[in-house]
Chains A and B, each alone.
Chain A
Amino acid sequence: MFLEKLEAQGWLELFTNTKGGCSVSELAKFYANCVVTNEVVTSIVNGQKLCFDASDLGELLGVLAKDFDAYVHEDKSIYTWC
């Protein structure tokens, strides 16, 4: 049932990729050099510059960007129905 929820989001392949892992050293460098301007992320990791927005990130991760971005716009009025 849980996997069906991931499938519905289009995340199943991404989050069940058992060949993945985490590189803490590069992650620390990424956040140390990270700047986000107009929803575009830039950073430098091991001398290489990174620059991506949500659309680029979608291509890199194989996920579509659409439908729900309330968190980005901080529009808390949509939660009043809760």
Chain B
Amino acid sequence: MELTQRLAQKPHFTEHWSMGKGEITPLHRLLFWFVIKNVVPRGQGRNLVELMDMCFTDLLDRCEKINLLAIMISHIARIANTSKDHDMGYGFLLTLVFEELDIPLQKKVSFQLSDEIGSSTLVGCNFMVTKGSSTGLEQGP
């Protein structure tokens, strides 16, 4: 309860085990996004912040150490052994491992770099984007 209230910044929030992505603060949403992309990657259920996600998000926020390597080993086992469809997680990190081990790569897709923040990012951070004006940004409720 304390954890969900801290992430949602709503003192009277009563949800214990999971909550929607929209319930948490913008910073925690960014950290949650990082968690489901890089710490415990998954392709489904990315709009739902589950208890494990909350723990990792909170640890990141409080700068408490997370053992990424042990988590990776365990999650790789889960991905490799599951009977369900699962995204191939840790693509960037494992490609780095392949390179370190001098495994020849057929084709590497590089990162896309951009210095611009798009409208979808602004909307995700609770800003309202109005059409045709560079000054039409308002912070939502």
Contact = CB atoms under 8 A, between A and B. Distances in A.
Interface of A: 1-2, 4-5, 8-9, 11, 14-15, 17-28, 30-31, 34-36, 39-41, 45-46, 48, 50, 52-55, 57-58, 60-61, 63, 65-69, 71-72, 79, 81-82
Interface of B: 1-4, 16, 27, 30-31, 34, 38, 40, 51-52, 54-55, 59-61, 63-77, 79-81, 88, 91-98, 100-101, 103-111, 113
Given A5-B60, A69-B67, 5 more contacts: A9-B63, A21-B92, A21-B110, A39-B70, A45-B98
Given A31-B79, A36-B80, A72 B74 contact: yes
A69 B16 CA distance: 23
